[in-house]
Amino acid sequence: MDPHIANDAAAVEFLHSGKVLPSTLPFSEAVRVGDLVFLSGQLGIVPATLKLVDGGIREEARQTMENIRTILEAHGYAMTDIVKCTVMLADMSEWNDFNEVYRTFFGDRFPARSAFGTSGLAIGARCEVECIVAAMRPRAGR
């Protein structure tokens, strides 16, 4: 077997902290590949449940971003390590409301971002956010 292929396979790490997503879901909360971490799309759920927080787009956006922060911190990363976000909104007319909440989770340096409207999101969510993290610094506790 080619040793380069074996080394590449060893560089893939499937991550699940159990702090946000129920372990019964058929996907990893994040996957690390070399110096990048890909977070699965996060919703505004109460951690360890599939129940959306009450309050509409602003509260869902806040909980979504809190869930992202929780997952990152569980694996030794921070919001400042995010380099790209993809935002999915059930209703693009809520884009400004989402942005008002989103901006509070970053200082003056925002990740690259795309946003688009959907015809529906899982469990009736108003927003979903997936992120890519630059994992160039050593993780805490590792």
| Nearest in space to 26 (alpha carbons), one of 44, 12, 11, 40 | 40
pLDDT in tens, 86-102: 999 999 999 999 999 99
3-133: CATH topology is 60s Ribosomal Protein L30; Chain: A; (3.30.1330)
pTM above 0.75, yes or no: yes
Output the CA–CA distances (angstroms, integers) from residue 123 to 1, 35, 51, 118, in the order listed.
44, 32, 8, 13
pLDDT in tens, 14-71: 999 989 988 888 999 999 999 999 999 999 999 989 999 999 999 999 999 999 999 9
